């Protein structure tokens, strides 16, 4: 069977070489899979992609032999799952790989904002070594609001409690035993938005969570509060976030994801205007956002630790091996 990996980094390649798919043809590329290059890989029967590869209806149609899409991620909003299912194509994910990894990065963003680490660095690069305007605040006794108390959210809760923070969480399905053990409180969504000093997002992206945090939510937040997003860019309304920052209502944001981030990797498309006017306008808003002094941004690397990448590749290859053996581990 022909197996094609996309979005491979040098470390991914090294990890893939340790895997064995006897009697099967395995190829890898650093390219993202897209509608423009899908026909180049039309013989592939199994593909493995990362979130930057968009497996659309057109991509699926261009790959007539495709039987399995093994995404190296927990989320799968980059795949047209309904159309894949209609074609009998299975989709395998990596449900667990970096709960602690993403939670640690969440607090890297929080601390960068709370203690003005990023702002201090930017100033020092300009030769400004004064401390004026750099006073931070303690996390102890502040209220941390966690939207999404799944595996990642639970690790965030543990770290927050270790800092002495008061932690509250919004999650549709409550686990009272878990809240007792981790010492946090479940609250409704509106209460969390209104009463948290720092809000952090840990939900999947879908039609229900699109712009989950928008104009109304930013208006309801405490003045001087902060928002952290390591989930998906589309969970937050970029324009509303920019307005909340510019008005001073929001003190700062820490972002590992932004709307349209995949286009930031496709400079040629943007340069030659191969995108819609709406897309270009959205990207312009995102770039304006990232230029704000009280915005700390990392380019979707919350998952990106050596240990997490090893777990992702190991699980993905195990998913593929399972499929080759007639099963489908971690499939939707």
CA atoms within 13 A on the CB side of 258: 28
Q: Are 191 and 143 in contact (CB under 8 A)?
A: no
2-97+306-324 belongs to which CATH class? alpha beta
Largest CA distance in the chain: 65
Q: Which DSSP state fits 11?
A: H
pTM: 0.86
Q: Do domains 2-97+306-324 and 99-297 have the same CATH topology?
A: yes
> Where would I find the beta strands (DSSP E) of 126-224?
143-147, 166-170, 185-186, 198-201
Q: Over the stretch 249-292, which tens digit does the pLDDT of each residue have?
A: 999 999 999 987 876 665 444 444 455 666 677 778 888 899 88
99-297 belongs to which CATH class? alpha beta
Domain residue limits, the chain:
2-97+306-324, 99-297
Question: Measuring CA to CA, which residue among 298, 314, 224 is closest to residue 255?
Answer: 298
Catalytic annotation, residues: 232, 261, 300
Sign of CA dihedral 145, 205, 282, 302: positive
Residue spans of the chain under pLDDT 50: 267-273
Given this model, what pLDDT does residue 136 score? Answer: 96
Question: Measuring CA to CA, which residue among 49, 152, 173 is closest to residue 104?
Answer: 152
Given this model, what pLDDT does residue 281 score? Answer: 75
Given this model, what pLDDT does residue 268 score? Answer: 43
């Amino acid at each position: 069977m022909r197996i094609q990996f996309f979005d491979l980094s040098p470390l991914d390649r090294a990890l893939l070489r340790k895997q064995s798919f006897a009697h099967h043809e395995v190829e890898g590329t650093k390219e993202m899979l897209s509608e423009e290059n899908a026909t180049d890989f039309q013989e592939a029967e199994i593909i493995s992609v990362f979130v930057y590869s968009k497996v659309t209806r057109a991509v699926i149609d261009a790959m007539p032999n495709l039987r399995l899409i093994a995404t190296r991620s927990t989320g799968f909003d980059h795949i047209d799952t309904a159309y894949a299912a209609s074609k009998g194509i299975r989709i395998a994910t990596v449900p667990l790989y970096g709960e602690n990894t993403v939670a640690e990065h969440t607090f890297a963003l929080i601390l960068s904002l709370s203690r003005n680490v990023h702002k201090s660095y930017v100033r020092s690069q300009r030769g400004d070594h004064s401390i004026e305007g750099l006073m931070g605040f303690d996390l102890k006794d502040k209220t941390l609001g966690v939207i999404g108390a799944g595996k990642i959210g639970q690790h965030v809760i543990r770290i927050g409690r270790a800092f002495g923070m008061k932690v509250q969480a919004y999650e549709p399905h409550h686990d009272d035993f878990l809240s007792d053990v981790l010492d946090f409180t479940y609250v409704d969504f509106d209460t969390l938005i209104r009463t948290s000093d720092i809000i952090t997002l840990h939900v999947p992206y879908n039609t229900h969570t699109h712009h989950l945090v928008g104009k109304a939510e930013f208006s309801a937040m405490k003045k001087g509060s902060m928002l952290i997003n390591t989930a998906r860019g589309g969970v937050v309304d970029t324009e509303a976030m920019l307005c909340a920052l510019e008005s001073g209502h929001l003190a700062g944001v820490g972002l590992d994801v932004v709307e349209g981030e995949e286009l930031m990797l496709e400079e040629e498309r943007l340069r030659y205007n191969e995108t819609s006017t709406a897309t270009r306008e959205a990207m312009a808003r995102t770039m304006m956002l990232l230029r704000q002094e009280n915005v700390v941004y990392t380019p979707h690397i919350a998952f990106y630790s050596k240990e997490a990448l090893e777990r992702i590749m190991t699980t993905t290859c195990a998913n593929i091996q399972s499929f080759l053996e007639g099963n489908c581990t971690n499939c939707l």
